[in-house]
A and B are shown apart, each in its own frame.
Chain A
Amino acid sequence: MMSEQTMSKDLNQLSNEDFRLQFRHFLAAHFPPELRQDFRRPFFRLRGETERDWLKTLYQHGWRAPAWPREYGGMGLSFDKQMIYHEELEHANVARVADMGDTMLGPTLIQFGNEEQKRYYIPRILSCEHGWAQGYSEPGAGSDLASLRTQAVRDGEFFVVNGQKIWTTMANNRTHCFALVRTGKYPKKQQGISFLIIDLSSPGVTIRTIFNLAGEDELCEVFFDNVRVPVQNLVGELDKGWTIAKSLLGFERIWIGSPGVASKALSITRQLLAETGQDKQPGVMDRYAVLAADLYDFRALYAEMCAKAVESGARGPEISALKVYVSELLQRITEFNLELGLEHAGIVGEVEIGQTTFDLHRQFMVARPASIFGGTNEVQRDILARAVLEMPAE
């Protein structure tokens, strides 16, 4: 289980400021400048080979898996250092990654996996030998995830899997997926679900790419046709996978609510205001002021809630309010950017405005699913109404 990264010194020993500077120096020296986010690609995300190369670079220098315990090869950072880690990535305009191995599978295996699973998979997540996709949603199970129907039937030392997953981000670039599958029949639909690791090169797996409105081809459908999965790929107890899925979604919600992306969008706004001279129009500036103040106050709220999470370890349902608000703020900002772009807003692709190259279509489209993925904002509001405001159910 010991990995090269574990040998590195414990960065928690550093002061927050020193830690920040070290990571900043590392990013300046090692992240390829041509892959940085800019006005053309404000929310740029790496994939395939470039993504793997970057994750490997992080790993080789001891900067991978910030939240994992050190004994599993992670950085074992305290929560406030994790915050700094994320802030510095944002600050340096480092392209994002969809690293489900780090953020989702690793913590699950550490909490629910058996020794053999940990020993086999954990180092391969870190070294990028395996790349991971998350197989949760299905055509009939989106916001209502527990309605999932993909079936795994025991046959000797195997599960035979049949069914279909959808919105499986980057399945077309990944070697494995972790999936929720139905293994038993119970009165409640949350029961009888299991958490299964599936090798995507198995016979019977078909992957189809879905093109999205932003012109990306990251989303996929994954079909399972009598796919044989070894029983040792079951994580946690049979039929108890829902608990695992739920506990996973707990921690990640605070990062999904981060102001980083909205803040990038507002930097586009400022650039557009300057390049188009609309910063001289009081009416336009009043509307800019609303968005700027919204982001400013949201940062204060985010810092407050993170501090509370550090202090109490509590990650209650109120954290969902962050994601709901910031996803809609991001959308409002990107909509405003279209207005500032005037007729350029109708162009699909890059446009020159003043001295700067923008991609107005893309920044707008990329913001659309922010209120959909990770549980739609409507569902999040339902949860907040019941769990926080104690409003009556039907």
Chain B
Amino acid sequence: MENDDLAAALADSATSFIADRYGARKLRLDITEAQHVDRGVWAEMAGLGWLGLALPESLDGLGMGMREAATLAEIMGRKAVPEPFVAAAVMPSVLLSRCAPGPLVKTAAAAIAGGQRLVTLAWQEAAGELDLSAQSTRFTAGRLSGAKCLVPIVEDDTLLLVFAKGEKGTVLLAIEANAKGVSVKRQAGGLMAMATVTFDGAPVIEATPLIAGEEAEAALKCALQAGRVATAAQLTGIAAGALEKTLNYVRDRVQFERPIGSFQTIQHRCVDHYTAILLAGASWRNAQRAFDADPLATAATAAASAAKARGGDAAMQICRASVQMHGAMGFTEEGGVGLYLRAAMQLSTWLGNSVAHRQRFVAATAQG
């Protein structure tokens, strides 16, 4: 019960903070320019304790479970917040929590919780990979060679947590994004910038891996699972935010001498979107409970994949419809629906799209 109160209090304060900081948005008209994290708000989020909430107490975090992290992600989704809470706080926290707490792990954890610099995972080498596949990135004699794609928020001071193949199997290493031998190609994303990072004999911070072998693979699996559950919650928030915006619009917009929200065709569509949001909420909460019970269990995989697909489809469906229900205004950048739609486009596909996750869900439930 105490936990319930804590979660509710966190949700309340987060909702008002987000409303305050993101209530009136400056819209970006140059949408192809790669985004930067707003370091001012990021530091404020650190000050509120959000960025370190998924870190264990042994790493000076709050040691909270997925419930609080996903709840926050959902609240951020409602205002299409671009700050990379899942990519640069939740996922690296879960990953580091499975490493032995040596000095470098502690430094990285402190960087996450303090919000001074960005920490991100670099694991993927091709679109469509749901887990660590054949690794072409090599780690030999203290240096990295290879390339990673779809790495979120790589900025000058970003600390990269890179998965590579060492002499004895999978290793996790930390490397500065601006180290010698690292080249970064950044692109704008629907919500956050993504980069392809190439390593050409680049020197890592410490030659001893943060974690290695099967344990490293399990740690990544946990981090990806956590990322998917939290993203599912964020997508649910995006869907709810887009619906709320649309409901406000159709209640006010008058055509043919009546609010267009009084038309049955608009009403019925909105009801179906509302139901889709109910399902998406139930689905991520189900996945969150499964994750907290055992993040590596097959049941947790099934639940996380179901939730990721559900949240992604709900957000895309509702955001597309929001454009339509806003009429021509929906197609303008200043209408603001685009913020939600582009966020949905990126998050519904990042970490695996809905089709891939439903296939994974079916495979996992057939085993279980």
B267: chain A residues at CB < 8 Å are: 381-382, 385-386, 389, 391
Q: Which of B261, B274, B285, B359 contacts A392 (CB 8 A)?
A: B261
B262, A297: Cβ atoms under 8 Å? no
Query: How far does the Cβ of B347 sit from chain A's closest Cβ, in whole Å?
Result: 18
CA distance A382 to B251 in the complex (A): 15
Give the most central of B259, B271, B278, B281: most A CB within 10 Å. B271
- Segment of A37-45, A47-55, A285-293, A348-356 engaged in the interface with chain B: A285-293
B361 within 8 A of A: yes
Q: Are B282 and A300 in contact (CB under 8 A)?
A: yes
Is B247 among interface residues, defined by CB-CB distance under 8 A? yes
Chain B nearest CB, measured from A266 CB (Å): 11
Distance from A324 Cβ to chain B, minimum over Cβ atoms (Å): 7
Closest to B362 in A: A289
- Cα A378 to Cα B282 with chains together (Å): 24
B251 to chain A minimum Cβ distance, whole angstroms, is: 6
Give the contacts of B230-279 with A (CB-CB under 8 A): 247, 250-251, 258-259, 261-262, 264, 266-268, 270-272, 274-275, 278-279
Partner among A298, A300, A303, A384 whose Cβ is within 8 Å of the Cβ of B271? A384
Residue of B250, B261, B274, B283 near A321 (CB, 8 A) is B274
When A and B form their complex, what is the total count of cross-chain residue pairs whose Cβ atoms lie within 8 Å?
A: 97
The residue that B362 contacts in the complex, of A285, A318, A382, with Cβ under 8 A, is A285
Q: Does A304 contact B (CB under 8 A)?
A: yes
**B310 an interface residue at 8 Å Cβ cutoff?**
yes
- Closest residue of chain A to B251 (Cβ to Cβ) is A392
Is A392 in contact with B365, judged by CB distance below 8 angstroms? Answer: no
- Note all chain B residues with C-beta closer than 8 A to A304: 281-282, 285
Chain A, 261-293, CB within 8 A of any chain B CB: 285-286, 288-290, 292-293
A293-B309, A293-B310 known; A389 vs B278 contact (CB < 8 Å):
no
Considering the complex, give the chain A residue whose CB is closest to the CB of B358. A289
* B135 on the A face (CB < 8 A): no
Structural contact, B282 and A301, CB atoms closer than 8 A: yes
B317 adjacent to chain A (CB < 8 Å)? no
Please name all residues of chain A whose beta carbon is closer than 8 Å to the beta carbon of B251 when the two chains form the complex.
390-392
Kindly state the separation between the CA atoms of A189 and B258 in the bound complex, as whole angstroms: 26
Q: Mask for B316-358, Cβ within 8 A of A = 1, else 0?
A: 0000000000000000000000000000000000000001001
| Residue A249 at the chain B interface, CB threshold 8 Å | no
User: Which residues of A sit under 8 angstroms from B158, Cβ to Cβ?
Assistant: none
What is the predominant secondary structure among interface residues of chain A facing chain B? helix
Number of interface residues of B (CB under 8 A): 35
Q: Which residues does chain B contribute within 8 Å of A301, judged by CB atoms?
A: 278-279, 281-283
The answer to whether A296 and B365 have CB atoms under 8 Å apart is yes
Instruction: Say yes or no for B175: interface residue by CB 8 A criterion.
Output: no
The answer to whether residues A290 and B358 also contact, given A381-B271, A382-B267 and a CB cut-off of 8 A, is yes
**Residues in A whose Cβ lies below 8 Å from that of B361:** 289, 292-293, 296
- Closest-by-CB residue of B relative to A303 is B282
A346-394 CB contacts (< 8 Å) to partner B: 378, 381-382, 384-386, 388-394
A327 to B: closest C-beta gap in Å: 12
List B contacts of A293 (CB < 8 A): 306, 309-310, 358, 361-362
Are the C-beta atoms of B274 and A388 separated by less than 8 Å? yes
A286, A321, A386, A391: the one within 8 Å of B358 (CB): A286
Contact partners of B15 in chain A: CB under 8 A: none
Residue contact A300 to B262, C-beta cutoff 8 Å:
no
Say whether B355 contacts A286, CB under 8 Å. Answer: yes
> Considering the chains assembled together, what is the distance between the CA atoms of A388 and B281 in angstroms?
17
How many Å from the CB of B256 to the closest CB on chain A? 11
Residues in A neighbouring B306, C-beta threshold 8 A: 293, 296-297
Contact B271 A385 (CB under 8 A): yes
> From residue A305, how far is it (CB to closest CB) to chain B in Å?
8
Residue picked from B261, B275, B280, B286, most chain A C-beta under 10 Å = B275
Q: Are A392 and B264 in contact (CB under 8 A)?
A: no
Are A321 and B282 neighbours in the complex by a CB distance under 8 Å? Answer: no
Q: Mark A213-249, 1 if CB is under 8 A from B, else 0.
A: 0000000000000000000000000000000000000
Residues of A49-103 at the interface with B, using a CB-CB cut-off of 8 Å, are none
Residue A325 lies at the interface, judged by CB distance under 8 Å to chain B:
yes
Known interface pairs A304-B285, A321-B278, A325-B279; A389-B270 also in contact (CB < 8 Å): yes
- Chain A residues with CB below 8 A from B250, complex form: 391
Q: With A and B bound together, what is the CA distance between A393 and B258 in angstroms?
A: 9
Q: Which residues from chain B contact A390 at a C-beta distance below 8 Å?
A: 247, 251
Q: Contact check, B274 vs A393: say whether CB atoms are below 8 A apart.
A: no
C-alpha spacing A300/B266, complex, angstroms: 27
| Chain B positions 277 through 311: 1 when the CB is less than 8 Å from some CB of chain A, otherwise 0 | 01111110110000000000000001000110110
- Within the complex, what minimum Cβ distance (angstroms) separates B101 from chain A? 35
In the complex where A290-B358, A292-B362, A300-B283 touch, is A321 in contact with B268 (Cβ < 8 A)?
no
Cα distance, A120 to B309, chains bound together (Å): 55
Cβ contacts under 8 Å, B309 to chain A: 293
Q: Give the nearest-CB partner of B360 in chain A.
A: A289
- Checking A289, A297, A318, A378 against B359 with a beta-carbon cut-off of 8 angstroms, the contacting residue is A289
A320: min CB distance to chain B, Å: 9
Q: Bound state CA distance, A298 and B271, in angstroms?
A: 16
Structural contact, A391 and B268, CB atoms closer than 8 A: no
What residues of chain A lie closer than 8 Å to B285, measured between beta carbons? 300, 304
Give chain A residues whose Cβ lies under 8 Å from the Cβ of B365: 292, 296
Decide: B262 and A391 in contact? CB cutoff 8 A: yes
Residue among A286, A293, A298, A393 with max Cβ neighbours from chain B (10 Å):
A293
B262 and A394: CB pair below 8 A?
yes
| Chain A residue nearest in CB terms to B355 | A286
- A392 near B259 with CB under 8 A, answer yes
Nearest-Cβ distance from residue A272 to partner chain B, whole angstroms: 15
Contact with A along B132-155 (1 / 0, CB 8 A): 000000000000000000000000
A378's contact among B259, B266, B268, B274, by CB below 8 Å, is which?
Answer: B268
Q: Is the CB of B262 within 8 A of A392?
A: yes
Question: B259 — nearest CB in chain A belongs to which residue?
Answer: A392
CB pairs A–B below 8 angstroms (18 shown): A286-B358, A289-B358, A289-B361, A292-B358, A293-B361, A297-B279, A297-B280, A298-B279, A300-B285, A304-B285, A324-B271, A382-B268, A384-B271, A386-B267, A389-B274, A391-B262, A393-B262, A394-B258
- Return the 5 tightest CB-CB contacts between A and B, nearest first: A385-B267, A301-B282, A289-B358, A300-B286, A300-B282
Which residues of B are at the interface with A, using a C-beta cutoff of 8 A?
Answer: 247, 250-251, 258-259, 261-262, 264, 266-268, 270-272, 274-275, 278-283, 285-286, 302, 306-307, 309-310, 355, 358-359, 361-362, 365
